[in-house]
Chain A
Amino acid sequence: MSKRIGADTIELTSRPRIAAWSASAGQKEREGPLGDTIDYVLEDDLLGQKTWELAEAAMLRDTAFRCLDKTALKTRDVDILLGGDLINQIMAVNLCARELMIPLLGLYGACSTMCEALAVGGMLADGGAARRVLCAVSSHFSTAERQYRTPLEQGGQRPASAQWTVTGAGATLLCGSDYTPEGVIPAASLTHATIGRVIDYGVKDMANMGAVMAPAAADTLARHLSDTGRSADYYDEIITGDLGKVGRGLMLALLDEKGVKVDAARVWDCGERIFSPEQDAHSGGSGCGCSAVVLNGYILDRFARGELNRVALMATGALLNATSVLQGETIPGVAHLVVIEKEDAR
């Protein structure tokens, strides 16, 4: 049963298993440093659909199916679907869920949604409310650009702090401790979740999301470590979602100010890793798909191969919308943290 420890952390005592995972992404992501870890690469980022929005929904649906296909499970064997994306009213998840027919809880945490889904899913599986939970999130460059920025063909320059929305989707199947499908070896377990507080340090610049999210990331990590009584060294790696180069530097500086000791060499960012500097992504990748693709490929593959024992994954989100920015509002940030551990790393 889930147990609250410290102020804001939840211990998942039965350690829900990560039984299957899958990620899809576009060509640009395929050409990045982690390209080989992506399960399925889209040949065409429109996926033969009429609109970018339908393309994103189809990518998410296919990713969910591919994840289930790795087990013998069917959609009816999954009790709850937890999903989110960046389109208004989480359009991609809603359209995809009408085909999956798994009871849906739609989530919105901007780019932090992968960890939000894992945290909620972990609690549902741990508490017995669901035997199996599918966490699936997506983002698409072309839907995000029109949602937040300018038309695709409009010619302008991006500032150096800007980030590039990842076209990608990730799905993770969480199973309660007695419900791992037969013959499936889980990669790892979820052991803790620390839910993020919304932090706003007054940044208004939409082209500097790393700066928006860094205070939330520093806050969540500091609270997690104090709640669990662990030092940062407990983790092989502390991985953030999409702070980018600018945001990672800021988070480390803020942690230093708080007096939290962190070995910078063990802290890395999915957004910074997913594209190489030559790929013109500036500060790095972003979007729900960013942490989702890296988790459901590179990170969980390494758990499955026994290369990792304990990881703190912290997806970060900038909670803006087109209206709030036009109205001159500062942008709040959030970061949710989940702890992933190897089965026998106890």
Chain B
Amino acid sequence: MNGWKTSRQRDIEQRYLAMVERFTPNHAMAMNITRAFLWGGAICVLGEAVSELGKAYLGLETADASAFTAIVMVFLGAFLTGLGQYDKIGKHAGAGSIVPITGFANSIVSAAMEFRREGLVLGVGARMFIIAGPVLVYGIGSSVVVGLIAWVVGLFR
């Protein structure tokens, strides 16, 4: 299959892809960024409020308050996904609701719901991390690398 393209085909492609660009409507980028900022900001403000409430009323230390916030926000994301509402928020918020931890919960729960009909083991179990998996692999992977660097640097201090 390699090299099936003749130079003529490549010329046609180049011209056509330029044409496609002209005909394809632009994403409303300014609007999308603004919305993502507002929604993402609002979710973070909510998280901050949960954290402060945890400190004020549950007497949590800063580190415990962070864990508490993560638990509450993940629950909220998962709960709204279960109710079928998170995707509606996502339509407006874009990256604003994907990037926070609620979006991480959404990506896992939506996949688990989607594949429930293929069974608990090969459906939910195997497919639950179909979207979140790469985030975990490279998130944990890069933290190991950073940890190693910090250790090596520490040896020479």
A157 touching B23 in the complex, CB below 8 Å, given contacts A152-B114, A202-B13, A202-B17:
no
Residues of the A chain whose Cβ atoms lie less than 8 Å from the Cβ of B106: 153-155
Assess the B90–A154 pair: CB atoms within 8 A: yes
Assess the B84–A153 pair: CB atoms within 8 A: yes
User: B-contacting residues of A (Cβ < 8 Å)?
Assistant: 50-52, 146, 150-161, 201-203, 208, 211, 215, 246, 249-250, 253
User: A-contacting residues of B (Cβ < 8 Å)?
Assistant: 12-14, 16-17, 19-20, 23-28, 32, 81, 84, 86-91, 93-94, 97-98, 103, 106-107, 109-111, 113-115, 117, 130-131
Q: CA separation between A253 and B117, bound complex, in Å?
A: 45
Assess the A160–B24 pair: CB atoms within 8 A: yes
Q: Which of A50, A150, A153 is close to B117, meaning CB atoms less than 8 Å apart?
A: A50
Assess the A215–B110 pair: CB atoms within 8 A: no
Rank and list the top 3 A-B pairs by shortest CB-CB distance, nearest first: A155-B90, A202-B13, A151-B114
Assess the A157–B24 pair: CB atoms within 8 A: no
Assess the A153–B87 pair: CB atoms within 8 A: yes
Across the two chains, which residue of chain A brings its CB closest to B82? A153
Q: Which of A152, A155, A158, A215 is close to B16, meaning CB atoms less than 8 Å apart?
A: A215
Number of A-B contacts (CB under 8 A): 90
Assess the B16–A154 pair: CB atoms within 8 A: no
The 24 listed contacts between A and B (C-beta, < 8 Å) are A50-B117, A52-B117, A146-B114, A151-B110, A152-B87, A152-B110, A152-B114, A153-B109, A154-B111, A155-B81, A155-B87, A155-B89, A155-B91, A155-B98, A155-B103, A155-B110, A157-B94, A160-B26, A160-B28, A161-B25, A201-B13, A201-B17, A202-B17, A246-B23
- How many whole Å from A121's CB to the nearest CB in chain B? 32
Q: Which of A151, A201, A215 is close to B113, meaning CB atoms less than 8 Å apart?
A: A151
Assess the B17–A156 pair: CB atoms within 8 A: no
Given A151-B110, A154-B106, 5 additional A-B pairs, CB 8 A: A51-B117, A151-B131, A155-B110, A160-B28, A250-B20
Residues of the B chain whose Cβ atoms lie less than 8 Å from the Cβ of A153: 81, 84, 86-87, 106, 109-110, 113-114
Q: Which of B20, B90, B113 is close to A156, meaning CB atoms less than 8 Å apart?
A: B90
- How many whole Å from A166's CB to the nearest CB in chain B? 19
Assess the B20–A154 pair: CB atoms within 8 A: no
Across the two chains, which residue of chain B brings its CB closest to A156? B90
Q: CA separation between A201 and B90, bound complex, in Å?
A: 33
Assess the A156–B94 pair: CB atoms within 8 A: yes
A151 touching B111 in the complex, CB below 8 Å, given contacts A161-B24, A208-B20, A211-B20:
yes
Across the two chains, which residue of chain A brings its CB closest to B111? A151
- How many whole Å from B88's CB to the nearest CB in chain A? 7
Residues of the B chain whose Cβ atoms lie less than 8 Å from the Cβ of A155: 81, 86-91, 93, 97-98, 103, 106, 110
Across the two chains, which residue of chain A brings its CB closest to B112? A151
Q: CA separation between A305 and B89, bound complex, in Å?
A: 45
Across the two chains, which residue of chain B brings its CB closest to A145? B114
- How many whole Å from B72's CB to the nearest CB in chain A? 19
Q: CA separation between A51 and B117, bound complex, in Å?
A: 7
Across the two chains, which residue of chain A brings its CB closest to B4? A200
Across the two chains, which residue of chain A brings its CB closest to B83? A153
Residues of the B chain whose Cβ atoms lie less than 8 Å from the Cβ of A157: 32, 90-91, 94
Across the two chains, which residue of chain B brings its CB closest to A52? B117
Assess the B87–A208 pair: CB atoms within 8 A: no
Give the one of B14, B16, B84, B115 with max A CB within 10 A.
B16
Give the one of A146, A157, A203 with max B CB within 10 A.
A157
Residues of the B chain whose Cβ atoms lie less than 8 Å from the Cβ of A208: 20, 24
Residues of the B chain whose Cβ atoms lie less than 8 Å from the Cβ of A202: 13-14, 16-17
Assess the B131–A154 pair: CB atoms within 8 A: yes
Q: CA separation between A203 and B19, bound complex, in Å?
A: 11
Q: CA separation between A75 and B103, bound complex, in Å?
A: 50
Q: CA separation between A151 and B132, bound complex, in Å?
A: 12
Q: CA separation between A54 and B150, bound complex, in Å?
A: 54
Residues of the B chain whose Cβ atoms lie less than 8 Å from the Cβ of A154: 87, 90, 106-107, 110-111, 131
Residues of the B chain whose Cβ atoms lie less than 8 Å from the Cβ of A146: 114
Residues of the A chain whose Cβ atoms lie less than 8 Å from the Cβ of B25: 160-161, 246
Q: CA separation between A232 and B62, bound complex, in Å?
A: 73
Residues of the B chain whose Cβ atoms lie less than 8 Å from the Cβ of A52: 117
Residues of the A chain whose Cβ atoms lie less than 8 Å from the Cβ of B111: 151, 154
